[in-house]
Amino acid sequence: MCAVAAREVALEPNVRKWLDNPCRMLIDGQWVTSESGKTFDVFNPATDTVIAQAQAADKTDVNKAVKAARRAFDDGPWTKMSPAERGRIVWKIGDLIMEYQEELAQLESLDNGKPISIARAADVPLASELFQYMAGWATKLNGDQIGITVPYAPGAEWHAYTRREPVGVCGQIIPWNFPLLMAAWKLGPALACGNTVVMKLAEETPLSGLKLAEIMQEAGVPDGVVNIITGFGEEAGAPIAAHPMVDKIAFTGSTEVGRLIVDAAKGNLKKVSLELGGKSPNIVLADADLEKTIPGAANAIFFNHGQCCAAGSRLFVHESVYDQVVEGVADFARNIKLGPGLDPETQMGPLVSRTQFDRVTGFLESGKSQGARAAVGGERGDGDGYFVKPTVLVDVKDDMEVYQEEIFGPVVTASKFSDLDEELIKRANDTVFGLASGIWTQDIGKAHRLAAKIRAGTVWVNCYNIFDAALPFGGYKQSGWGREMGEQVLNNYTECKAVTVSL
Ligand code: NAP
Ligand code: MG
C-alpha cells in the first residue's frame, strides 16, 4: 500500500504489519475492531496518500474499555502487586521500546512526517527514558508521618500519617505532534502510581501508540490495565472525558479542546490535568553569544516543524543585534533540507495533516495581509505533501494574529526591543499562554532575574527544547493545569489520604 522512494530507508518487515492490515485497538487485553465496524484512513503527510486503516471507536467501545479498566483497578492483580513488581514491568516497557526502536522510529516518521533521524535520536529514546524514570517512583510513593496538636482534645496521643494512593481509572487523550512520547508522558506515571488507563490516540497518528500497546502487553501489563483506542475527538475522546466511571482525565492538545474537557469532566468532578498551547517568548539580550544564539533560536522554532507546544514562536531581539540575529536565523532556515521523513537526509518533514497545512498557510496569508513580511519562507514547499517552508516574519506588530495566536508550524515572528525592565518583560508576558520561554545572554545575573519574572512553566537559558523525564513541564495561565514529568507529575496520578490513629 505504501510506496517508498529510492533514497528513503527500507521499511522494517514489522512496520508492514501495521500498514497491510487494518490496525486493531487494545481493549481488555484483546486486539479488537470497533463495535460499529467503522474504520478511518491513516495518511502519510509526505505524500498525501493513505497508508493504513485504523478503528473508529465511539461511545460503545469507550464503555467497553472503561469497564475493563475499572475491573482491572477494582479487582487486581495490578493494584495488588508489590510496588517493586509494578516498577519492574514499567521499566521493561522502556527496555522493549529500545528493542523495537527502529520499528517505532519508522512508524513515527511515516505517520507524523518527522525526520527519521529525529525520531531515532529523540522521540524513541526519550519515551524509553520516561518509562524507566517513572519505574523508579513505583517504590518511592511515600507519605509523611505528621505531628498533630488537636487543641480540643488535650492530653490525647496520636499517630497521624499520609498515604499516596492511585487515583483509579485515568482517561488520557493525546495529540499528534509527538505521538509516542506524549503516550509515554502520560502512561509512565499513571502506571508507576498503580492506576489503570483508557487512552485515545490522535486520529492523525495512531500507529506508534498501537505498537506501544503491543509492547506493554509483552512487558507484562495485565489485561485491562491499559486500553488503547483509536478514533476521532468528538466520538471517542469526548465520551472518555464525560464517563462517570473515569476518575481522572489527562489531556494534551489545543486550549479550545482543553475547555471542552473541563466541561465534560464536570459531571462526576473527575480530576483534570491539561497541557495546552503556547506562544513562547524567546529573548536575545544585547550581550548574547550569537554563534550559539542564532542556531539556538532557529531550533527553538523549527524543531519538529514548529509543531511543539513549547515552540519559541515569538523571538524578541535587542535592537543592537536585531538585524544580525534575524539574518542569521533566516539563513539557517534557508539551509534546512525539507523532504519526506523517511529520507535520512531530511531535516524538516511535512506538517502532520492537510488541516494543519491549511491552518499554517492561512496564518501566513493573514500575516502578509496585515503588513508582516517574510524575511525567509512564507510559502508552501514543493511536492504533494503538506510542506511549509521555514519562515521568519518581520515588520510584525504586537496586535497581529501571527503574533498573538499559536500557529503550530515553522513560523516565528521577530520583534525588536530596547529596554529590558520597562518594555521587554511586559511584552514577553503579554499573552494568554505561559508554557515556556528562552533567554540568551552571557550575563548570569540578568538571566536569573529575567527567569524569575517570566510567567511560564519552563525557562531555558542559553538553550531551548531541553526535555528530561526528571524535569517538570507544564503551563501557567491558559497553557494548562498541573505538571507532567518529574516528581510533580505524581500529584496528577495519586490521591493523598490522611490517616489519624488515636493511641
Ligand atoms: P486538538 O483538537 O486539541 O486534539 C488533541 C486531542 O484531543 C486529539 O486526540 C483529538 O482527537 C482530541 N479531541 C478533539 N476534540 C475533542 C473533544 N471534543 N473531546 C475530547 N477529545 C477531543 O488539537 P488538533 O486539532 O490536533 O490541533 C489543533 C491545534 O491545537 C494546533 O494547531 C495547536 O495549536 C494545538 N495543539 C497543541 C498541542 C500541544 O502539545 N499543546 C498539540 C497538538 C495541537 P482527534 O484529533 O483524534 O480527532
Ligand atoms: Mg498520519
Residue 361 and residue 268 share a domain: no
Residue 3 lies in a domain: no
Residue 316 and residue 201 share a domain: no
- Per-residue pLDDT at 46 exceeds 70: yes
How many domains, in total, are found in the chain?
2
Ligand 1 site-directed mutation target among 25, 38, 62, 173, most atoms within 8 Å of CB: 173
Residue 357 and residue 250 share a domain: no
Q: pLDDT tens, 152-210?
A: 999 999 999 999 999 999 999 999 999 999 999 999 999 999 999 999 999 999 999 99
Which phi and psi angles does 363 have, rounded to 5°? Answer: -65, -40
Q: pLDDT tens, 75-132?
A: 989 999 999 999 999 999 999 999 999 999 999 999 999 999 999 999 999 999 999 9
What's the rounded Cα separation, in Å, for the pair 273 and 483? Answer: 8
pLDDT at 460: 98
Residue 60 lies in a domain: yes
Q: Which amino acids bring their CB within 6 angstroms of ligand 1?
A: 173-177, 200, 202-203, 232-234, 237-238, 241, 252-254, 257, 260-261, 275-277, 309, 359, 406, 408
Q: Whose CA is closest to atom 11 on ligand 1?
A: 233
Domain of residue 291, CATH code? 3.40.309.10
Record the cell numbers describing residue 198, joined without a space. Answer: 483508557
Residue 1 lies in a domain: no
- Mean of the pLDDT values across residues 228-235? 98
Q: In ligand 1, which atom is closest to the CA atom of 277?
A: 41
Residue 266 and residue 287 share a domain: no
Please report which helix (H) or strand (E) contains residue 412, including its range: strand 411-417
Residue 484 annotated as catalytic: no
Ligand 2 midpoint to CA 353 (Å): 7
What's the rounded Cα separation, in Å, for the pair 26 and 48? Answer: 27
What residues pair up with 393 in beta bridges, in sequence order?
A: 374, 413
Q: pLDDT tens, 398-440?
A: 999 999 999 999 999 999 999 988 899 999 999 999 999 999 9
Of the candidates 11, 1, 25, the one whose C-alpha atom is nearest the C-alpha of residue 207 is 25
Residue 188 and residue 291 share a domain: no
Residue 167 lies in a domain: yes
Residues 6 or more apart whose CB falls under 8 angstroms from that of 333 comprise 298, 302, 376, 377, 389, 390, 391, 392, 410
Of the candidates 100, 118, 180, 10, the one whose C-alpha atom is nearest the C-alpha of residue 345 is 118
Residue 286 and residue 249 share a domain: no
Residue 320 and residue 252 share a domain: no
Q: Which residue has the cell 525526520?
A: 115
Q: What end-to-end distance do the CA atoms of the chain give, in Å? A: 71
Residue 162 and residue 92 share a domain: yes
Q: Which one of 108, 203, 309, 484 is the catalytic residue?
A: 309
Residue 5 lies in a domain: no
Which ligand is nearest the CA of 177, by number?
A: 1
Residue 8 lies in a domain: no
Residue 301 and residue 255 share a domain: no
Q: What is the pTM of this model?
A: 0.97
Q: Is 223 exposed, middle or buried (0-12, 13-18, 19+ CB in 10 A)?
A: middle
pLDDT at 5: 57
Residue 123 lies in a domain: yes
What's the rounded Cα separation, in Å, for the pair 374 and 330? Answer: 9
* Residues surrounding ion ligand 2 at CB below 5 Å: 43, 111, 204
Please report which helix (H) or strand (E) contains residue 476, including its range: strand 476-477
6 band by pLDDT with thresholds 50, 70 and 90:
low
Domain of residue 270, CATH code? 3.40.605.10
Q: In ligand 1, which atom is closest to the CA atom of 278?
A: 41
pLDDT at 259: 98
Q: Is 500 left (phi over 0), alpha (psi -120 to 50) or beta?
A: beta
Share of the chain above pLDDT 90, in %: 97
Residue 309 annotated as catalytic: yes
C-beta atoms surrounding 358 within 10 Å = 12
Residue 272 and residue 336 share a domain: no
Ligand 2 midpoint to CA 415 (Å): 34
Please report which helix (H) or strand (E) contains residue 103, including its range: helix 101-112
Residue 421 and residue 488 share a domain: no
Q: pLDDT tens, 321-364?
A: 999 999 999 999 999 999 999 999 999 999 999 999 999 999 99
Residue 473 lies in a domain: no
What's the rounded Cα separation, in Å, for the pair 333 and 391? Answer: 7
Ligand 2 midpoint to CA 68 (Å): 28
The whole domain housing 329 covers: 281-468
Ligand 1 site-directed mutation target among 203, 254, 433, most atoms within 8 Å of CB: 254
Coil/strand/helix, residue 169? strand
Residue 388 and residue 341 share a domain: yes
Record the cell numbers describing residue 402, joined without a space. Answer: 501571527
Ligand 1 midpoint to CA 257 (Å): 6
pLDDT at 1: 37
